[in-house]
Amino acid sequence: MLNFEIRYTKALVILCILAVIFIGLSFVLPIEYSYENHFLENLEVVILFLGIVICIGKIRDFILYDSIKFYVASIIIYILMIGRELSWGRVFYPIGMDKNGEQIFVKVHELWYGSVVYPMVGILILIVLILLGVYFYQSRRQGICWYIPLGEFLFFIVTSILGQFVFDRGLVQFGNYNQLLEESCEIIAYIALICYTYDISFKRRYIHIRYFSIR
């Protein structure tokens, strides 16, 4: 049911070019661009919002009705990722600046809605899992194949690992550039995720029966 396709698409070429550009810019841009609620963080939110727009377009132009579940789940995932980038709304409540000039925000539990943030996140994740699980089960029953673009998928995985586990945790040290490299990798990962969302397709598998006669 899951078919990973290796396709040399324009999206894959663009991702490679953007990766080189953003990694290069990480050693040129001011460190302030990587701060919370600054240029790169806000760019990530815009990119993720574009993912929601693409999912809505896919729902409107659906080919297989049941595939709507996948795109609804994807919209929820994008919303969660936007929430994470906005620190669940903390960025709208700055309380000062640290010695490096980076803004300091209230803690999540200090927000007026702080007590419901993580329970709501848990509920939304559960809804995503249910939607994807139900659609995968329906796909097996109805002979629907998921054609997954392997290039974009791997791009998302690799850049996410680089951003969250290599540069963020300092496994590889580039001094003050680590934070810029982390944000740049996240941007590439989000663009790859959008390309993946756009290129993934669902097709019903038909069994062709050849009739013949014996003379």
d(CA 171, CA 180): 15
Residue 116: what pLDDT?
94
| Domain extent at residue 28 | 2-204
210 belongs to a structural domain: no
Q: Are 44 and 190 in contact (CB under 8 A)?
A: yes
Residue 215: what pLDDT?
46
54 belongs to a structural domain: yes
84 belongs to a structural domain: yes
What are the pLDDT tens digits along the chain (215 aa)?
Answer: 788 888 777 888 899 999 999 999 999 999 888 888 889 999 999 999 999 999 999 998 876 678 899 999 999 999 999 999 999 999 888 888 877 777 888 898 889 998 999 999 999 999 999 999 999 999 988 888 999 999 999 999 999 999 888 887 777 777 778 889 999 999 999 999 999 999 998 888 755 445 444 44
Q: Are 148 and 201 in contact (CB under 8 A)?
A: no
213 belongs to a structural domain: no
Q: Are 16 and 154 in contact (CB under 8 A)?
A: no
Q: Could you tell me which residues come within 8 angstroms of residue 26 by beta carbon, excluding any fewer than 6 positions away?
A: 177, 180, 181, 183, 184
Q: How many folded domains does the chain comprise?
A: 1
209 belongs to a structural domain: no
